[in-house]
Amino acid sequence: MPEQRPMYMESIGETKSKFMGEIEEVMKRVALDAYDGETFIENYINDLEEPRTFFYRSMKGTIPITPEDVEELMREEVKRQEAFYNSIRELVLRMPDGKILSPDQIVEYPHWDHLPSFGCNIRSGSTVLYSYPRLPASTKHFLTLKQGPVSAHIIHVEDEYVLMLPYGQDLSEELRSLFIKLSGTTGKVNIDGIEVRIRKNYLSMIIEEKVYQKTLDKILKDYGGHAIQVGHQSDNTAYIHTGLEEDLPRLWSTIYFEWRGNWRRHQ
């Protein structure tokens, strides 16, 4: 017989999943409203109070998500998404035939997990890019395989966003020239025996051993980067470290690192 899990374990998982889904629905509305140019912070906070109360009572207070946690999450997300769209609107003006697509119309998916926050596609001519607010992200599809999805490549990072080229998309000569101007060309340095590739605002490395957050923070500070991509060939995973992890809202961190299990890929 297959192993039977206790009912209370199933109900805990289901309760978390339901609450995460309700939060993500509201977070997507924030992204859509920021895309449209007008956000409604009190509505988002109010719409999550009933789900929060149900979650708190269902968990009997063992996972104390407070009204203050929800308010912090929503207020920070509104600021983040407004800054994100303001910034990529400026970027799109420099792209040939540039256009931001609605966050509910993802036509080229990056295969990076950065929920509960949402990103969007940007179209320039026949090329479709992907961008999302500068946040931690993880992928289980780091390297090119004959089967399965492949994660997008970072091509530019700014304070407010990460810009990616989805697998199978090609940059036109105009776009390539633009991003060379923005990010510079790739250089290499050796840091404690690890080869690190450096561009103007971001770095990348492939390692097999664990690297500590304080080490990544120091590298970002020393080289003035906004993000560093850390890849692991052995298990085909990678994550993006931004140096902002300690300042994220508590509920955002709980969802991303603990409930979605991304902390395992950040070890």
For the chain, the structural domain boundaries read 7-266
Answer whether 33's CB lies under 8 Å from 39's CB.
yes
Residues paired with 130 in a beta bridge? 121, 164
Distance between CA atoms of residues 267 and 60, nearest Å: 31
d(CA 228, CA 154): 10
What pLDDT score does 236 carry? Answer: 86
Q: Which residues of the chain have pLDDT under 50?
A: 1-10
**Per-residue pLDDT at 145:** 62
Closest CA to 110 of 145, 144, 154: 154
**What's the CA gap between 184 and 14, in Å, rounded?**
47
What is the torsional sign of CA 55, 59, 65, 66?
A: positive
Q: Is 195 helix (H, G, I), strand (E, B) or coil?
A: strand
Question: What's residue 230's pLDDT?
Answer: 93
- Per-residue pLDDT, 263: 63
